[in-house]
Amino acid sequence: MDGGVETRNGLDRGSREDEQTGMAHGKVEEKAVDWTDCPLIEQVPGKLSGAPVIRHLRVRPDDLLADQGEREEWLAEAYRLPLDTVHQVLAFYDQHEEQPAPAV
């Protein structure tokens, strides 16, 4: 398709990766990230089973990463987050994706 919009991962949204859903997705490899140093992320026992979440919300950073092939503006609107929060969470992931999460 001509005239597609380039996403954060450089995919052309006009070309479809997943024909069943009709959505363009980049293949996101799950890499362990230690979110404890990210000021936007908290882990609260009993809140989403203690999974890392965006502070004061029930949105996991992994939810953003699952849709990482989308534009940041789309993520902000879809998850009802400030654009700056989306940008900061994805930037933290990009900077720390090589570091494994601590064993629990």
For residue 87, the tally of other CB atoms under 10 A from its CB is 15
Short-list 37, 36, 35, CA closest to 61? 35
CATH of domain 35-96: 1.10.10.10
Q: Where are the domains of the chain?
A: 35-96
Predicted pLDDT at 76: 95
Instruction: Express each pLDDT in 36-77 by its tens digit.
Output: 999 999 999 999 999 999 999 999 999 999 988 899 999 999
**For the chain, what is the radius of gyration of the CA atoms?**
15
Paired tokens of 77: 């609107």
Please indicate whether residue 30 or residue 89 has the higher confidence score (pLDDT).
89
